[in-house]
């Protein structure tokens, strides 16, 4: 794994850009960029993880078991921020592809960065779900539904493409060794699971064969992502056992494993809860029961992995954990566990699940504040996150 896994925050080691007169250039923002064009020159797809991590803070709050005054308003503001980030980052990515096409195309062939092409579709799906859950209070239900439908279709198509294209590149072109497996390998195969979860929210708005097709399609994407994630998680476990933790910058990606786990629990319960709209009788009851029968055992593994990831992260932090965009791995995966716990709480009425969901959401908000602040400092103030990494070799 190489430094291109993340654009590291180099403000402790890289001297400020100097003007001809010897003074630091850049003013109050982007202080360490030599020239404004660097803002788009090295843009990478893993930037979309910031939208995922911001959007999940909003969507998780919308369905949290504990609702209190101000929570929905705050969540709506965070959703609006995520929506703005999606617009700005999509536009910036367009500029990047137009002005720096060779650099943009090089991401496909990079054995680390290519996997983060799963981030843009998940960003679309997360913002779309937030639009339907929270944005309707501002935009009206019909407009919110239309926006969510467009983002869901676009995110689903891009997600299915990433789930096939990135593994194809990995199997045919990327140079991969036995110690290459890391959490980022899950990024291109998780989007269909996010589509399954967010697609369940659209079931009440379609009818007839379209509704049944959507339900079955979501379950198919659930299986696609689940089986691929199991295979990749096994490879990550094998790498950790045989080659140990590896580079400190990659440690946060261990938290990505929680993403497909929490998202699959969420999908199973959302699909099961809305299955009665498309099917009836025994099948509807079985689908609803599956959400609990699947979700509780997987929650057990998720808690174990969270314990392992926490211990490894603390151990690494004591030795030095450099900030980079991989820190967003502390947000979205945790958020999916919160929404999964919320689904289990709704179907079992177990107070313990309610408490775990609230506790998990509290940790999510704390992590988001820390990572968002560091990202703002490293990008808007310093500009170091927009600089070309010192090394690009894997």
- Alpha helices (runs of H) in the chain, residue ranges in sequence order: 38-41, 49-62, 71-99, 101-109, 119-130, 136-139, 141-172, 191-202, 208-243, 258-274, 281-319, 332-348, 351-376
Whether this model's pTM surpasses 0.85: yes
Q: Does 189 have pLDDT greater than 50?
A: yes
**What's the mean pLDDT in 243-256?**
93
Residues found in the chain: 394
Contacts of 323 (CB under 8 A, 6+ apart): 8, 9, 374, 378
Q: Which has more confidence, 35 or 279?
A: 279
Distance (Å, whole) CA 178 – CA 5:
17
CA-CA-CA-CA torsion sign (26, 30, 34, 39): negative
pLDDT, position 246 = 87
Distance (Å, whole) CA 32 – CA 317:
26
Q: Does 63 have pLDDT greater than 90?
A: yes
pLDDT, position 16 = 41
pLDDT, position 336 = 98
Q: Does 27 have pLDDT greater than 70?
A: no
pLDDT tens, 130-179? 999 999 999 999 999 999 999 999 999 999 999 999 999 999 999 998 88
Q: Does 3 have pLDDT greater than 50?
A: no
Q: How far is CA 105 from CA 39, 113, 181, in A?
A: 17, 11, 23
pLDDT tens, 265-319? 999 999 999 999 999 999 999 999 999 999 999 999 999 999 999 999 999 999 9
**What's the mean pLDDT in 240-256?**
93
Domains of the chain: 33-386 (1.50.10.150)
**What's the mean pLDDT in 333-339?**
98
∠ CA 73-79-82, rounded to 5°? 150
Q: Which has more confidence, 30 or 296?
A: 296
Rg (CA), the chain: 21
Q: How far is CA 319 from CA 151, 212, 243, 391, in A?
A: 41, 53, 18, 22
pLDDT, position 380 = 78
**What's the mean pLDDT in 194-213?**
97
pLDDT, position 41 = 85
pLDDT, position 37 = 64
Q: Does 9 have pLDDT greater than 90?
A: no
Looking at residue 16, the DSSP 8-state letter turns out to be P
Stretch among 26-30, 88-92, 358-362 having the lowest mean pLDDT = 26-30
Closest listed residue to residue 189, CA positions, set 252, 245, 124, 114? 114
Write down the mean pLDDT value for the chain.
90
Predicted confidence band of residue 322 (pLDDT cuts 50, 70, 90): very high
Identify whether the C-beta of residue 307 lies closer than 8 Å to the C-beta of residue 295: no
Q: Does 21 have pLDDT greater than 50?
A: no
Identify whether the C-beta of residue 194 lies closer than 8 Å to the C-beta of residue 125: yes
Got the DSSP string for 63-123?
A: T-S---TTHHHHHHHHHHHHHHHHHHHHHHHHHHHHH-HHHHHHHHH-TTGGGGGGHHHHH
pLDDT tens, 365-387? 999 999 999 999 888 777 788 87
């Amino acid at each position: 794994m190489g430094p291109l896994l993340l654009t590291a925050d180099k403000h402790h080691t890289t001297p400020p850009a100097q003007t001809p007169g010897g003074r630091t250039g850049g003013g109050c923002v982007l202080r360490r960029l030599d020239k404004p064009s660097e803002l788009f020159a090295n843009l990478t797809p893993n930037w979309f993880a910031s939208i995922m991590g911001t959007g999940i803070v909003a969507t998780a709050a919308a369905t949290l078991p504990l609702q209190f005054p101000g929570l929905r308003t705050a969540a709506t503001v965070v959703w609006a921020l995520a929506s703005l980030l999606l617009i700005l980052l999509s536009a910036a990515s367009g500029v990047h592809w137009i002005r720096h096409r060779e650099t943009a195309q090089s991401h496909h062939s990079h054995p680390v960065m290519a996997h983060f092409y799963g981030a843009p579709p998940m960003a679309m799906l997360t913002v779309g779900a937030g639009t339907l859950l929270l944005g309707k209070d501002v935009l009206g239900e019909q407009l919110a539904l239309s926006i969510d439908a467009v983002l869901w279709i676009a995110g689903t198509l891009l997600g299915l493409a990433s789930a096939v294209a990135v593994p194809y590149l990995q199997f045919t072109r990327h140079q991969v060794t036995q110690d290459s497996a890391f959490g980022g390998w899950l990024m291109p195969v998780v989007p269909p699971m996010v589509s399954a979860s967010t697609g369940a929210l659209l079931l009440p708005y379609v009818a007839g064969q379209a509704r049944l097709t959507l339900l079955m399609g979501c379950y198919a994407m659930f299986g696609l992502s689940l089986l691929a994630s199991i295979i990749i998680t096994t490879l990550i476990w094998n790498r950790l056992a045989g080659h140990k933790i590896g580079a400190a910058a990659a440690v946060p990606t261990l938290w990505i494993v929680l993403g497909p786990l929490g998202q699959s629990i969420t999908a199973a319960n959302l699909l099961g809860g809305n299955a009665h709209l498309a099917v009836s009788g025994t099948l509807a009851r079985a689908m609803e029961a599956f959400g609990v029968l699947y979700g509780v055992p997987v929650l057990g593994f998720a808690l174990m992995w969270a314990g392992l990831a926490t211990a490894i992260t603390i151990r690494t932090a004591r030795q030095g954990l450099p900030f980079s965009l991989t820190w967003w791995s502390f947000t979205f995966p945790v958020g999916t566990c919160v929404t999964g716990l919320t689904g289990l709480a709704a179907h079992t009425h177990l107070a313990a699940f309610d408490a775990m969901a609230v506790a998990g959401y509290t940790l999510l908000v704390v992590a988001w504040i820390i990572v968002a602040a560091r990202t703002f400092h490293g990008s808007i103030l310093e500009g170091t996150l927009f600089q070309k990494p010192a090394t690009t070799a894997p």
